[in-house]
Amino acid sequence: MKEIVVGSVDKVLARVDDPAYSADIQKGAFQSALSGIRAGVMTYENDPILPMIQEEMAGKLSQFQGLSAAEESALLSLTKEQRNSVVSSDRQQKNEFLAAAPAVSHGTLKVAEKYKEYMTMVQGATKV
């Protein structure tokens, strides 16, 4: 969605910089600003740029309307590489969490045989 908005704004800004359109756009923007000053409230009334952005975005969004469920699913689904990346990251974070020692501050607990056995078991179970 961000790409659609940024692309639309960039295209309109290119039109604003185009000498064929810039004079008319600047006059319209100035008149819009004067209307806002007169009213005491700045709105987008008579703004020449906003309708261009809205039109550009509507054109880009129209290609997504009417998609079948299968087309929409294909468009929004993750690629195989993305799924593998998510699985790998999830596995790594899970192992890091499980391999972390419990927050034990009492020194005699850390040297207890049961605690040592537990830590050995956890570290062995979470090796990749």
Give 49-71 pLDDT, tens digit per residue: 888 888 988 888 888 888 888 88
The pair phi, psi for residue 45, each rounded to 5°, is: -60, 130
The answer to whether residue 84 sits within a structural domain is: yes
Residues 6+ apart with CB under 8 A from 21: 15
Q: What is the DSSP letter of 101?
A: P
> Does 58 share its domain with 101?
no
Residue type, 83: R
* Of 95, 99, 88, the residue nearest 121 (C-alpha): 99
Please tell me whether residue 3 adopts helix, strand or coil conformation: helix
pTM over 0.95: no
Residue 85 identity: S
**Structural domain span for residue 58:** 2-65
Neighbours of 13 (CB within 10 A): 13
Check residues 45 and 89 and name the one with the higher pLDDT: 89
36 part of a folded domain? yes
Instruction: Count structural domains, the chain.
Output: 2
38 part of a folded domain: yes
Please indicate, yes or no, if residue 73 is contained in any of the structural domains.
Answer: no
| 33, part of any domain | yes
**22-43: average pLDDT:** 89
Do 19 and 61 lie in one domain? The reply is yes
Residue 72 lies in a domain: no
Predicted pLDDT of residue 127: 67
Whether 70 is in a domain gets the answer no
pLDDT band at 87 (very low <50, low <70, confident <90, very high): very high
Q: Which of 14, 38, 65 is the last residue of a domain?
A: 65
Q: Return d(Cα 27, Cα 25) in angstroms, integer.
A: 5
Instruction: Reply yes or no on whether the pLDDT at 123 is more than 80.
Output: no
User: How high is the pLDDT of residue 85?
Assistant: 95
Instruction: Answer yes or no: do 23 and 52 share one domain.
Output: yes
> Could you tell me if 90 and 56 lie in one domain?
no
